[in-house]
Amino acid sequence: MPTPRAPLFNRLIPQSLYVRVGLVLACVFFLLPFYWMANSALKSTAELSTFPPTLLPQSLRFENFVNAVNYIPFGTFLLNSVILTAGISIGAAISNPLIAYGFSRIKWPGRDFVFGIVMATIFLPFPVLIVALFDIFAKLHWIDTFLPMIVPAFFGSPFFIFLMRQFYLALPGEISEAARIDGANEFQVFLFIILPLAKPAVAAVVIFAAVQAWGEFLAPLLYLSDETKYPLSIGLQFYRQSHDVAYNLLMAASTLIVLPIVALFIAFQRFFIQGVTAGSVKG
Amino acid sequence: MTKENAMTLLPGRGIRALILSFLMVTACSTGGSTGSAPPLAGCNSGTTLATFWTSHTPPDSDSLKNIVTAFNKQSNSTCVKLVQVPGSETDIAKLTTAVRGGTGPDVYMLDRFTVAERAAAGVLEDLTPYGAASLGSSYLDFAWQEAQFKGKPYALPFDTDTRALYYNKDLLKAAGVDTSALDARDKPVTIDAVRTMANKVNKKDASGNYTTVGFIPWFEQGWHYTWGFAYGGTFFDKAACKVTPDDPKIVQAYKDMFWDWAGSLGVAQAQTFISSYAPPNLPTQQNAFLTGKLGFMISGDWVLGNIQTYVPNLKYGVTYIPVPHAGDAAATWAGGWSMVIPKGPKNGKGGYEFMKYIAGEPGQRVYTKETQHTPTFKSLTSDSTLFPGDAATRHTTEPAAALATAASATNDKLKQYCPLA
Amino acid sequence: MIAAPRLRLSHDDWRNLRTALPFVLPWVIGFFAFTLYPIIYSLYLSFNQYSGFGDAVPVGIANYKHMVSDPLFWKALYNTGYYTALAVPIGLVVAIVLALLMNQNLREVAIYRAAFYLPSILPLFALTFIFIVLLNPRFGAVNYFLGFLHVPTINWLGDARWTKVSVVILAQLGAGGPALIFLASLRAVPVELYESARLEGAGPIRRFWHITLPLITPVILYDLIYGTILGLQIFTPAYILVGGTSGGAAYTAGPENSLLFYVFYLYKNAFQYSDMGYASAMAWVLFVISIVLAVLIMRWSRYWVHYEAD
């Protein structure tokens, strides 16, 4: 927020300078945690508790990463995280484009009313449901499996439906009309005409679903009991509680958890940013 | 309103590769995880699997592992698989969720104080059909009583433990403290004497933060029970079926040991010391007492094992928990764990066979030897005192008010289980 | 946007309904199975004493009555309210400031955008682990740097006055997402508006208050409602920070129960204390609180949201 003195500064210094200072300060706030994570991940256990703390490790202990992976069953947790993420992403990729199509490319009575309910569920706190959902999944014998996390993804999620719908609405209606005149049924129009055009939106949905699934904590905590089924989120917390994980190993493991998301972001930056801003089109 | 729909760039290959790799991983993992469970290494052929869960951590869980291995070697009917699960004395969320989902273990290691509470909630199997009632005479009476609910056995007692005052001789000597009164071991020292010694150990750095502290009474095992009992208080009125944490003696203990002590150390500074040197989930070997940052500590007998494992050269002493007035009788309390069969076991018979072994003479012998915990099996020991307790919630408001709140809040919930048979 | 369906349907209406049904059916099934049914089922459970084992025993409104006399319920409600009231407005300001900063024509702006946005997609549990090390009062970076400014030692995670503030700061790492939405709506403000304001002699502050801010109020409204609902759900950082090993940490939710957030207490009741009935009652109260807050914010927004005439 510009301070009241900003106009004066504005006259004396080029505007870009104090904007840059602000940007760099904000960057420090946003990047300090990650610098400290890497710094701590590379220190020896003894150096972690020296005062004052060292800003750079005295010697780089890259073996902390090896030790973290070996000491914590990182491979098992990682595989579980990947399976969960894959399952949830596939579910999101199949369900949301389909559902959103029904809420945008076909006009049916009551559509906007029902879509209003879809949007309302965005604002329903998930924890409200956990007690009852647990009981339901227990009766289905789904406890200690990935099903309670993955199956709901195949039934759509309101934010992704909204995102896909925004994209569909921007496509001209004539595209579908031409195909319908050629005798295609609605599903064929969806699958062969609209879906290929909507690839960027599907990609955004998949990426967001994957990022969300990667960080999921509460649901695995509720539904999984066998430690060999834990994803990284609760796996690491469990290991910390039960096996004395030193901070340098914890930070090394955290680095390894963060890196795939960073890589995903670098590879698909545009999708992330456009996915987020799709929500603003409606205003 | 922007009509700019910017989603036009499509690195198609990237997405396809991503999806493909997800699919491959899923395919591999389903291929890998569906194989039938192979018989565990170290078990005899023809045995049936029984699972055993514990929330214990090393070094104690290592000893449990050894007992399981020894059991598997000698049993021709049961093969036990040890699984470590998250949890604590009061947090058995992993157990309850698994049992409700039909994926619970055959044996669980449960805090003995909570046996009745968990039995009342319906989490545990009654052990009468297994023939547990006849085992009572083998166990110390207090431990056996804790394993009963409404006259029926729901658990087999395992270890017990006691709390004592640990002190770091080197640290105290360096601060010029004469530890002979502590070393004498014939009678408990007074709290005032400990306070005087502890104050000499307190050291701060330039920024006003403690680098060493003499004694933080609420650290580790400095529970409400510990000081409540030290002051001669009682926590439960069995006849009235009410918890009584607002017993005036307990209120006085809270005032002296928590309220006033924290005040003289500086509440913020004392907590900063704990957050720096002993935050939650810090590895055991970095415990502030073991690293020589703390002069005194109230803790349990398992610390003996920890010191032996992590800092064998530490010069330390153990004595009675200090008392308010010279001549008061020393008090401590015993807790401990037990073995239970949760509702709906897959191999209850095998589980019980293992329980009888681990909670019996062979298991307790190994556990006592390896972890320095105290056994409850009569033939292995003959000490310990009965201190029944009841959980109350810790608060940091003014002691009398906090304890009154704890009493009313707990009694409100307790009503539904009264009378306790 | 929400209008009740017309009752009389034409032939075309029926056909379209039939065509659309297979598309929206997955959502309809999911809505009934994973949303509506659990809500109704938890309402039923809230009038029962149910440990999760055996049968539910009807107890009338006892669970709701117990709430009134349960000091921890009020503590949890207070903590959650405190956190939300702090995190949501701060988050809003941080997001808008970031958006304004990113809305400058600087060559390297893409780098800043990446730096601000990236933390918001990183797993919250991993960020919490990092904060444990970062905020250690003695060996952490934050107090080390504050030491140079002669700020006295702050016990971020061990002092009841600071624990919630720490979680609020942690939440700000997620500001990059909303900031991008704000940025998009800033970009949508017609340049001519600024030009004419500049010609009339309006400085940057006046331009912000009179042009920018009114035009982004719809996004502020969305962020306010969504942020509030998210704030009420805060759980993961508290669960991780409190720890779960035996010893003092396992019994209270942070120093003086200062991290006992509503959902944390709900979770403890349901899964640690086997009191599903009470937890269900708490879930329903949370549900009602969310609706009331959302409606109140919507009502209030009539006074300040500026809807552009389409």
Q: Do A200 and B97 touch (CB under 8 A)?
A: no
* Average of per-residue pLDDT across B227-253: 90
Tokens of B387: 């201190």
Write out the residue range of the structural domain in which residue B235 sits: 163-333+391-415
Interface of A with B in 105-124 (CB under 8 A): none
Measured between CB atoms, which of C132, C136, C274 is closest to B96?
C274
Residue B8 has pLDDT above 60, yes or no: no
CA distance B303 to chain A (A): 15
* Whether residue B392 has pLDDT greater than 50: no
Q: Do B401 and B362 share a domain, yes or no?
A: no
CB spacing of A7 vs C203 below 8 angstroms: yes
Residue C101 lies in a domain: yes
Is residue A62 very low, low, confident or very high in pLDDT (cuts 50, 70, 90)? very high
Q: Establish if B309 belongs to a structural domain.
A: yes
Residue C47: inside a domain, yes or no? no
Average pLDDT over residues B28-50: 63
User: What range does the domain containing C146 cover?
Assistant: 66-301
- Classify residue C38: in a domain, yes or no: no
- The pLDDT assigned to B375 comes to 84
Least confident of A90-104, B28-42, C26-40: B28-42
* Residues A196-227: tens digit of each pLDDT: 999 999 999 999 999 999 999 999 999 998 88
Confidence tier at B161 by pLDDT (50, 70, 90): confident
Q: Can you give the pTM of this predicted structure?
A: 0.85
Q: By the CB < 8 Å criterion, does A240 face chain B?
A: yes
Q: What pLDDT, in 10s, does the model give residues B117-131? A: 899 889 999 999 999
Contacts of C83 (CB under 8 A, 6+ apart): C164, C167, C168, C231, C234, C261
The more confidently predicted of residues A95 and C273 is: A95
Token code pair at residue A118 = 């879809």
Give the per-residue pLDDT at A37: 96
Q: What is the CATH number of the domain that holds B235?
A: 3.40.190.10
Q: Is residue B302 located within the same domain as residue B186?
A: yes
- If you average pLDDT over residues A3-7, what whole number do you get? 47
Instruction: List C residues 55-84 in contact with B (Cβ-Cβ < 8 A).
Output: 66, 69-72
Q: What is the mean pLDDT of chain C?
A: 89
Q: Confirm if B313 and B323 have CB atoms less than 8 A apart.
A: no
- Tell me what the mean pLDDT of segment B228-236 comes to: 89
Residues B55 and B145 in one domain: yes
Q: How many domains does chain B have?
A: 2
- C110-132: per-residue pLDDT in tens? 888 889 999 999 999 999 999 99
The pLDDT assigned to C71 comes to: 92
- At residue A280 the predicted structure's pLDDT band, cuts being 50, 70 and 90, is very low
Residue C28 has pLDDT above 70, yes or no: yes
Task: Find which of A79-93, B289-303, C90-104 is predicted with most confidence, using mean pLDDT.
Answer: A79-93
pLDDT band at residue C5 under the 50/70/90 scheme: low
Taking the C-alpha atoms of residue A10 and residue A15, their distance in angstroms, rounded to an integer, is: 6
> So what's the architecture of A72-245 in CATH?
Orthogonal Bundle (1.10)
Burial class of residue A127 in the structure, from the number of CB atoms within 10 Å of its CB (0-12 exposed, 13-18 middle, 19+ buried)? buried
Whether residue B55 lies inside any domain: the answer is yes
Interval B315-326 mean pLDDT = 91
Q: Would you place residue A281 in the very low, low, confident or very high pLDDT band (cuts 50, 70, 90)? A: very low
Subunit contact C72:B409, Cβ cutoff 8 A: yes
Tokens representing A213 are 């699934």
On the 0-12 / 13-18 / 19+ scale of CB atoms within 10 A, C87 is buried
**Structurally, how many domains does chain C consist of?**
1
Whether the pLDDT of residue B228 is over 50: the answer is: yes
If asked whether residues B311 and B170 sit together in one domain, one would say yes
The verdict on B152 and B173 lying in the same domain is: no
Domain contains C22: no
Which DSSP string do the residues of B344-372 spell out, in sequence order? S-SSHHHHHHHHHHHSSHHHHHHHHHHH-
Q: Is C1 contained in some domain?
A: no
Amino acid C243: pLDDT: 67
Among B86, B218, B413, beta carbon nearest to C244: B86
Q: Is A82 on the interface with B (CB under 8 A)?
A: yes
CA-closest candidate to residue B29, choices A223, A276, A150, A106: A150
Residues of A in contact with B273 (CB under 8 A): none
- Give contacts of C 74-113 with A, CB under 8 A: 93, 96-98, 100-102, 104, 106, 112-113
Higher confidence at residue C155 or residue A79? A79
Same domain for B148 and B285, yes or no, is no
Size of interface A-C (CB pairs under 8 A): 304
Predicted confidence band of residue C265 (pLDDT cuts 50, 70, 90): very high
Q: Please indicate if any CB of chain A lies within 8 Å of the CB of B90.
A: no
Q: What is the CATH number of the domain that holds C210?
A: 1.10.3720.10
Domain edges within chain A: 6-62, 72-245
Residue B295 sits in the same domain as residue B410: yes
Comparing A42-46, B121-125, B220-224, C286-290, the range with the smallest average pLDDT is B220-224
Residue B138: CB atoms within 10 Å: 18
Q: Which helix (H) or strand (E) holds B157?
A: strand B156-157
B421 inside domain: no
Contact call for residues B281 and C243 (beta carbons, < 8 A): yes
